[in-house]
């Protein structure tokens, strides 16, 4: 008596083999055929459900010095504006939050106005963010919050001088 064996190649990524049955009740690795018998074996695969959680991207604006300058941004969400004028109750904020995002790639770009230089620092727990020139390229992971701070320094404003201390001493 000859036993036959059938198998399935490894299922594609995102799928898992959940059952393999033959119509005569034989296991798929030991099928014995009677003369004239036809046996059908069925392999069932199930899509793997991954627990994907939404993420958040926060864009912060810091301007040195604070002032009425409006900064234009673009990227994955289109155009938006931020300022850092030190006034909290005006229509523009120094922070824009993008909540409930599907994990994946996102881009934030600042159109730097004349007379300003830009530096970008991003806090990304999984390290999936790169910055270059005026861009932050963010690879948002499941459940992650990434904060990118775009800091502009006005080019005609020198850095603050070092602290100076004046002491007055009276000798009696």
pLDDT in tens, 50-83: 788 999 999 999 999 988 889 999 999 999 999 9
User: pTM value?
Assistant: 0.64
Preceding amide of 67 cis, omega within 30: no
In angstroms, rounded to a whole number, what is the distance separating the alpha carbons of residues 69 and 149?
16
In angstroms, rounded to a whole number, what is the distance separating the alpha carbons of residues 15 and 11?
6
In angstroms, rounded to a whole number, what is the distance separating the alpha carbons of residues 129 and 45?
35
The whole-number pLDDT of residue 172 equals 65
Is pLDDT of 85 > 80?
no
């Amino acid at each position: 008596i000859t036993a036959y064996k059938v198998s399935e190649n490894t299922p594609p990524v995102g799928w898992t083999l959940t059952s393999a049955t033959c119509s005569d009740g034989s296991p798929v690795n030991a099928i014995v055929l009677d003369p004239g018998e036809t046996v059908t074996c069925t392999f069932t695969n199930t899509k793997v459900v991954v627990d994907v959680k939404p993420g958040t991207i926060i864009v912060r604006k810091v301007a040195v010095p604070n002032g009425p300058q409006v900064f234009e941004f673009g990227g994955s969400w289109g155009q938006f504006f931020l300022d850092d004028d030190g006034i909290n109750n005006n229509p523009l904020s120094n922070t824009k939050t993008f909540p409930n995002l599907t994990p994946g790639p996102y881009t934030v770009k600042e159109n730097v106005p004349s007379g300003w230089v830009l530096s970008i620092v991003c806090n990304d727990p999984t390290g999936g963010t790169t910055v270059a020139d005026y861009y932050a390229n963010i690879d948002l992971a499941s459940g992650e919050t990434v904060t990118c701070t775009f800091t502009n320094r006005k080019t005609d404003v020198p850095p603050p001088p070092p602290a100076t201390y004046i002491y007055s001493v009276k000798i009696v």
